Structure 1
Amino acid sequence: MDRVKLKQEILDFTIKGVSSFLKKNSKLEFYAFAYDCNAEYAEINLCFNTLFDFEKTLDYYQNGQFGQNFKSDEDIRDLKYNTGDWEYQCFETISILSDDELNDIFNGFPDEDDDKSWNEFVESLMELFCECLLEFRDTLTFKSIPKSKDFVYFCIDHDEDLKIAEERLVQIENKLNKK
C-alpha cells in the first residue's frame, strides 16, 4: 500500500468533491465537515451540515415518538455530529482500495492473527484518512468553506463515538507536528 500515492488520491478527491459541492451550494454556511469513513472497506464519504438543517432534524426527533431521547445536551450533541443525520451526507464517496486489494491484504495475515492484524490495518487506514483531512485543512478549498463561528471538522469511522474520533485526530496532528 503506497501511502504517499493514496494520500494524494484522497486529497485530490476531497478538493475536487468539496469544490464542486460548494459551487452548487454557494449560499450555505456550514458548522461541520466530516470524513465519514467505513475503513473496513477503505471508504471515505464527504459530509457537510448546516445549523439550519441540524435544527430541522433536532425538531423532528424531539417531536417524534422517541423525543425524550433528544433532550439532554449530550444527546443533542450526539445528534448534531452524527453524520448519518446530516442533510449533506455522503455527497461524494471514494473507495481507495478495491475489494480484491482488501482481500489480498486480509489473506496475507497469519491465520492466528487475523482479527488483530485486520484491526491494526483498519486503524492504520483511519490514521491515513486523518492525515489527509489535516492536509485538506491547509488548502484554499478548505479555507473557502463558508463556516459558522464554531465550525468543526473530523474524521470518524462507521458507528464510532465522536470522542474517539476527536482524540485520534488530535493525536495524529500532534504526531505530525513533531516531525
Structure 2
Amino acid sequence: MKAPDLAPIEEQLFTLSMASIRQFSDEHPDESFYGFGIDCMADSGIFLLCFNSEAAFAETAKEYIERFQYSAADLAALKTNFGDWKYQDFNQDQPHWEAGWGAYRDAIEAYSFADETEIEEANAYVEQLMRCACRVLVRLERSGIFERTKMDPGFTTAVMDHDEDLQEATLRLNSVRAEFND
C-alpha cells in the first residue's frame, strides 16, 4: 500500500485550520488565550485544534489540586496538556472540518494500520505527518490568523502527538521553524 501524499494533506490541513481558527475567533471575541496547539493522533489522521485561556486553566488547576492533589510541577505540565484545555478539539464541532478532512483521515489511518505496512514505514510516515503539522503551524503563525484572537503576552504555540512530551515536540517544531528561516 502506498503512503498518502503529504503535499495535499498539508495544504488541506492548513486551509481547514485557517477556517476553523477564523470561526473560533469570531465566536470568542472577548476571551484572551495563552496558547494554541495542534493535538495529534497522527497515525489515525486526527489533528485537533486547541486554545486555552488563563481563566480556564485556573479552573482546571483548582479542580486538579482538589481532586488529585496536584503539585506545582504537575500544574506546570497541565498547562501544556492539550487534553485538559477548555477548547481542545474545537475544530471537530465545525461542519466544514469533517467534510474537508474525513477522506484524508481515513487514508492516513488505512495506511498506518494496514497489515502490509511495516512498522518502521508507518513510524517514518507518522514522523513525516508530524513535521507536516509543524509546517502548518508555522504557516498559521506567519499568516497572521492568531491576531484575530486576543493573545496574552507570551502566547505560545505547539504541535504534539499523543504520548509525546513537550520537549520532544518543541525540538521538532524548532527544526521545522529553522527550515522556514533558511
Match of 2:167 in 1: 163
CA contact (8 A) 1:41 1:95 kept: no
Alpha carbons 1:43, 1:96 under 8 Å: kept: no
1:53 counterpart SS class = helix
Q: 1:52 deviation in Å?
A: 0.3
Distance 1:119 1:30 in 2: 33
- Give ranges in structure 2 of 5+ residues lacking alignment: 93-100
Distance in 2 separating the partners of 1:62 and 1:50? 18
Distance 1:49 1:98, change over 3 A: closer
TM-superposed CA distance for 1:99, in Å, is 2.9
Q: Distance in 2 between matches of 1:27 and 1:45?
A: 22
Q: In structure 2, how many angstroms separate the alpha carbons of the residues matched to 1:95 and 1:126?
A: 18
Indicate yes or no: 2:46 matched with 1:43: yes
Deviation at 1:156, TM superposition (A): 0.6
- Deviation >6 Å, runs of 4+: none
CA 1:108–1:91: 2 relative to 1, 3 Å? same
Instruction: Provide the residue aligned with 2:140 in structure 1.
Output: 136
1:58-104 alpha-carbon deviations (Å, 9 max, x no partner): 0111112x21xx223x3211101111111111001445624355434
How many matched pairs? 170
Asked if the contact 1:37–1:155 (Cα under 8 Å) also holds between the matched residues in 2, the reply is: yes
User: How far, CA to CA, are the matches of 1:120 and 1:49 in structure 2?
Assistant: 31
TM-score, scaled relative to structure 1: 0.87
TM, length-normalised to structure 2: 0.86
Sequence identity (%): 27
Contact (CA 8 Å) 1:10, 1:132: kept in 2 or not? Answer: yes
CA RMSD of aligned residues (A): 1.8
Among 18, 22, 25, the residue aligned to 2:21 = 18
Identify the residue that residue 103 of structure 1 maps to in structure 2: 110
